[in-house]
Amino acid sequence: MTVEFSPVSESQITKAIVDEFAKEFEKYVETEVIIVGGGPSGLMAGKELASKGVKVLIIERNNYLGGGFWLGGFLMNKLTVRSPAESILDELGVPYKEYSKVKGLYVADGPHACSKLIAATCDAGAKILNMTTLDDVVLHNEKVSGVVVNWTAVSALPREIACVDPISLESKLVIDATGHDASVVKKLEERGLLKTKGQGAMWVERSENLVVEHTSEFYPGLIVTGMAVSAAYGLPRMGPTFGAMLMSGKKAAEVAIEKLRL
């Protein structure tokens, strides 16, 4: 096969990237919802919000999106969801099967499920800022009103060789979807504005129901979703099963839409 690609210079490629990045970035410096963390709960929340026309930006410290959703657990890339969360796999077009020995326990391929969720979130219109790490929150009149971020490459360097100030992005709401770390919530705890209970020990059967139930506004302007809910409220952990992450993301989007309407 021979292919004749259209003509271009090196500088034109650079300009295309700079122009388009700058245009989009400028548009998202102020947004309706910022989601910190691009794991299953954050992606699901982003997909739901964007599909309802909400302007949403997902901030992810890694180059790749998906968090723990690429793998089941222990480096084995079969993931599980429990009924009724297979309905979300149906929505995303992820193939799965019921585990022959346990009714209501479904198994799917991690890479397939994760890439479908990422694609659905992007297709819905959520914008992504990856390689970007949360540094702090913007706090106006005791309400979370945005985030302070820096490039992950800068954040990862020792302070003494990387004195680069972070920048702020404003939003009406922030969603903490940073998983076990609950990084956004912790910024408020460091200032004595709230107290987290810390994640409890493993108890999958209770944990999934409780995480969805507790997905809520944890502090004015700040909604928690996914394992950040568990860390914030002191709920048991659940290990490598993801139904509650997807359902919690959906609920976080509902809570956000409700707040945006007020």
Where does this chain bind ligand 48F (CB under 6 A)?
36-42, 59-62, 67-69, 133-134, 177-179, 181, 183, 226-228, 238, 241-242, 245
* Complex with ligand 48F: residue 145 or 183, whichever CB lies closer: 183
User: What's the min distance (Å) between Cβ of 225 and ligand 48F?
Assistant: 7
- What letter would DSSP give residue 76? B
* Complex with ligand 48F: residue 171 or 178, whichever CB lies closer: 178
C-alpha distances (whole Å) from 235 to each of 14, 115, 136, 208, 231 are 48, 28, 25, 9, 7
Q: Which residue is nearest to ligand 48F (CB)?
A: 39
* Complex with ligand 48F: residue 54 or 244, whichever CB lies closer: 244
* Complex with ligand 48F: residue 106 or 242, whichever CB lies closer: 242
* Complex with ligand 48F: residue 54 or 227, whichever CB lies closer: 227
Q: CB-hemisphere CA count at 13 Å for 155?
A: 16
The sign of the dihedral angle between the CA atoms of 39, 41, 42, 47 is positive
* Complex with ligand 48F: residue 9 or 248, whichever CB lies closer: 248
* Complex with ligand 48F: residue 13 or 202, whichever CB lies closer: 202
Please identify which residue in the block is written with the tokens 């990422």.
Answer: 118
User: What's the min distance (Å) between Cβ of 149 and ligand 48F?
Assistant: 8
Q: How far apart are CA 96 and CA 104, in angstroms?
A: 12
Reading the block at residue 247, the tokens are 């359902």
User: What's the min distance (Å) between Cβ of 240 and ligand 48F?
Assistant: 6
Secondary element (H or E) of residue 82: strand 78-82
Reading the block at residue 256, the tokens are 């956000």
Cβ proximity of 253 and 49 under 8 Å = yes
Please identify which residue in the block is written with the tokens 């009406």.
Answer: 172
Look at the chain and count its residues: 262
User: What's the min distance (Å) between Cβ of 166 and ligand 48F?
Assistant: 11
Taking alpha carbons only, the member of 31, 63, 67 closest to residue 50 is 31
User: What's the min distance (Å) between Cβ of 164 and ligand 48F?
Assistant: 16
User: What's the min distance (Å) between Cβ of 135 and ligand 48F?
Assistant: 8
User: What's the min distance (Å) between Cβ of 219 and ligand 48F?
Assistant: 17
Q: How far apart are CA 97 and CA 83, in angstroms?
A: 12
